[in-house]
Amino acid sequence: MVHFVGAGPGAPDLITRRGAALLRQADCIIYAGSLVNPALLALAPDGCRVYNSAEMTLEEVLAVVATVEQAQGNTVRLHTGDPCLYGAIREQMDALDAAGVPYDDTPGVSSFCGAAAALNAEYTLPGISQTVIITRLAGRTPVPEGEALAGLAAHGASMVIFLSAGMLGGVQAALLQGAYTPDTPAALVYKATWPEERVIRCTVGSLAQNGRVAGITKTALVLVGGFLGGGYTRSKLYDPGFTTGYRKGEPV
């Protein structure tokens, strides 16, 4: 059987207990290259075969899985963050379905959560934004036309941009075509939750320059929006005057 597992954003103690248990029982681990902390591979039992999928094609991954299946073993397919974001898991699952190989999926802490934690930030600040847009800039991998960054930027929502740290000039230009201004708060978070984590708070207008000066071109997220600035309204949930199903509000 194949277990897709989210490794979390980097810190080895941010994998789930279920994910760690699956690693300890694996006959084979296929991990997603440098984005997975090597400390997690140390959980592999003696005799476990370990492969780096960054050096493999989909066909090669499937061939390894097939040999493990023949021996009735368990493969852990270890993806960074949560497998559901830019993990290319669907094509693997469809191929496993076609081959009659069973699989399941154990979630992980995505890097967009790790980056928010590094900034002590809340994406959904009342009065600022109640929406998080997760996207990327079109590069060698295209993005559907209706999802061009400049178009999504029209909403002015909280935004997390993956896989685009090497194109910060393009990111900045696209953001400025939307609802953001040069003064809109932004941040670059490099290797969130790793020991070498770096957090750069800046503005949309200074994003590309900050990335250049810091020499950040990969393994980073761009966060954008008013949630990184001051000014918001209090939550209703914890407002003394607001009645919920669990608490009666008092006039204030």
- x/- mask, ligand SAH, residues 70-99, rule CB under 6 A, reads ---------xxxx--xxx------------
- List 92, 111, 184, 210, residue binding ligand SAH (CB under 6 A): 111
Residue nearest to ligand SAH (CB): 81
Q: Is 35 in the site for ligand SAH (CB under 6 A)?
A: yes
DSSP state string for the chain = -EEEEE-BSS-GGGS-HHHHHHHHT-SEEEE-GGGS-HHHHTTSPTT-EEEEGGG--HHHHHHHHHHHHHTT--EEEEESB-TTTT--HHHHHHHHHHHT--EEEE----HHHHHHHHTT--SS-TTT-S-EEEEE--SSS---GGG-HHHHGGG--EEEEES-GGGHHHHHHHHHTTT--TTSEEEEEESTTSTT-EEEEEEGGGHHHHHHHHT--SSEEEEESGGGSS-----STT-TT--BTTB-----
Tell me how far apart the alpha carbons of residues 2 and 17 are, in angstroms, rounded to a whole number.
17
Q: Is 51 in the site for ligand SAH (CB under 6 A)?
A: no
Q: Is 43 in the site for ligand SAH (CB under 6 A)?
A: no
Q: Is 159 in the site for ligand SAH (CB under 6 A)?
A: no
Q: Is 171 in the site for ligand SAH (CB under 6 A)?
A: no
- List 207, 219, 226, 227, residue binding ligand SAH (CB under 6 A): 219
Q: Is 10 in the site for ligand SAH (CB under 6 A)?
A: yes
Query: In the bound complex, what is the minimum distance in angstroms from residue 113's beta carbon to ligand SAH?
Result: 8
Size of the site for ligand SAH (CB under 6 A): 25
Query: In the bound complex, what is the minimum distance in angstroms from residue 78's beta carbon to ligand SAH?
Result: 11
Which residue's structure tokens are 């993956």?
162
In the complex with ligand SAH, which residue's Cβ is closer, 144 or 241? 144
Q: Is 110 in the site for ligand SAH (CB under 6 A)?
A: yes
| CB 118 within 8 Å of CB 199 | yes
Q: Is 12 in the site for ligand SAH (CB under 6 A)?
A: no
- List 89, 192, 216, 223, residue binding ligand SAH (CB under 6 A): 192
Q: Which residues bind ligand SAH (CB under 6 A)?
A: 9-10, 35, 79-82, 85-87, 110-111, 114-115, 162-163, 189, 191-194, 218-221
